[in-house]
Amino acid sequence: MGKLVWKVLLPLLGGLCFMMVSGCSTPRTLVILIPDHDGQVGKAVVTTGKGAVPLNAAGQTVVVHNRHSSPKETTASGKDRIDALFGEALAGEPPLPEKFILYFQSGTVQLTDESLMEVPAIVDSIRKRQSYDVSINGHTDRVGSFKANIHLSLQRAMHVKGLLIDAGIRPKYLTTSSHGEGNPLIKTVDGMPELRNRRVEVIVR
């Protein structure tokens, strides 16, 4: 196959695509479509000046010798081949972010009992990952005015931030944002209470 020049992992919507270029006397590009961490498979199209080949199944593989040649007909690559070629790159991928959703009593910064019990799990996740990037995003339902809800969602985010700081997480790793009622999980008419929209989303990267 020749000396390996480079290989790269391309993220797709619902999948991953590996591309590798070899440096032998007849250079070639090898493209393999693989599932993402959730098992979903995206789509890709390998295109040259002489044609295009779609990839839409796990392990589907195509070889291109250069930009002026037609992509070769697709073949299938199994797990053993993918691990042999790209195992090191796959092992080096950072873990996916972990997301927690905490819910609040209506019109307050008081967490529900169930959500309060989730706070230690967030702290544990931050420590295990040794995370330096934690987003705390506040939201409300559509009870109250738009302006008041922007303020309330920020108060909720700051309340959760305070709980994490009290548990020993360093403030400089925590960022907060306020979405008010503008990004609901459940769409409702104005003035309707909805527990699932009264929330703070904590994303640990």
In terms of pLDDT, which residue wins out, 168 or 94?
168
Query: How much is the pLDDT for 156?
Result: 98
Give the β-pairing of 44-48 and 4-12: unpaired
- Point out which residues pair with 55 in neighbouring strands: 44
**pLDDT single digits (tens) 136-172:** 999 999 999 999 999 999 999 999 999 999 999 999 9
Query: How much is the pLDDT for 31?
Result: 84
Residue 76: CB atoms within 10 A of its CB come to 11
Q: pLDDT-based confidence at 43, cuts 50/70/90?
A: confident
Does 6 score more than 50 pLDDT? no
Q: pLDDT-based confidence at 1, cuts 50/70/90?
A: very low
Whose CA is closest to 153, among 103, 199, 191, 99? Answer: 199
Instruction: Assess if CATH 3.30.1330.60 describes domain 98-204.
Output: yes
Residue 143: CB atoms within 10 A of its CB come to 19
The contacts of residue 112 (CB under 8 Å, 6+ apart) are 102, 103, 104, 105, 195
User: So where are the chain's domains?
Assistant: 4-91, 98-204
**Integer Cα distance of 200 and 185 in angstroms:** 11
**Integer Cα distance of 8 and 32 in angstroms:** 11
**Integer Cα distance of 42 and 34 in angstroms:** 8
**pLDDT single digits (tens) 95-131:** 889 999 999 999 999 999 999 999 999 999 999 999 9
- Yes or no: say if 32 and 41 are a contact pair by the CB < 8 Å rule: no
**Integer Cα distance of 131 and 126 in angstroms:** 5
Look-up: residue for tokens 């040794």?
130
